Amino acid sequence: MKAAPTLNPHAALIYVMVVVSAADALMSDAELHAIGDLVRSLPAFRGFSEDKIIPVARECAAILQEHEGLDAVIGLVKETLTPQLRETAYAVALDVALADAPVHPEENRILHRLRLELDIDRLTAAALEKAAVVRHARIPAA
């Protein structure tokens, strides 16, 4: 396994979104649009050039293809992010998972693993999960 890149917080957040999107082996258009929208709109991404999304996502995907790549990605993310930004990472992971609801079992497993590995306590996780579900509510067609 080649040496993993050193991440900055922007890349670490994108890695988390890619991991969730790739969990079911299909990165849907809705998930890809959600990633772009989050990068364009969240204050955490201020100063991050939108044209770097694809190269960072490809870098993450390459690591995921390696033996124990998921462990490596999660380790890099945890090492890079402060506790507060780990909560942000979990929140954006939820947004990507809900982009093409329903959430698939594979995505749920990744979300659970992220919660544990990023040390997101249950109460905080529950609040972030409820907020994400509320944000992604859909109005039924009349």
Whole-number percent of the chain with pLDDT over 70? 96
**104-116 pLDDT per residue, tens:** 899 999 999 999 9
Instruction: Give the span between the Cα atoms of 137 and 9, in whole angstroms.
Output: 29
Separation CA 62–CA 4 (nearest Å): 10
**Residue 73 in domain:** yes
**Is 70 a member of any domain?**
yes
Within-domain flag for 4 = no
**pLDDT tens string 85-97:** 999 999 999 999 9
123 in a structural domain:
yes
Tell me whether residue 115 is in a domain.
yes
Within a domain: residue 116? yes
Contact status, residue 38 vs residue 92, Cβ threshold 8 Å: yes
Which domain covers residue 71, as residue numbers?
Answer: 9-135
Q: Answer yes or no: is 83 within a domain.
A: yes
Helix (H) or strand (E) run with residue 84 in it: helix 83-98
Residue 44: give its domain's CATH number. 1.10.3680.10
Specify burial of residue 78 (Cβ count, 10 A radius: 0-12, 13-18, 19+): middle
Overall domain count for the chain = 1
Q: Per the domain annotation, does 142 fall within a domain?
A: no
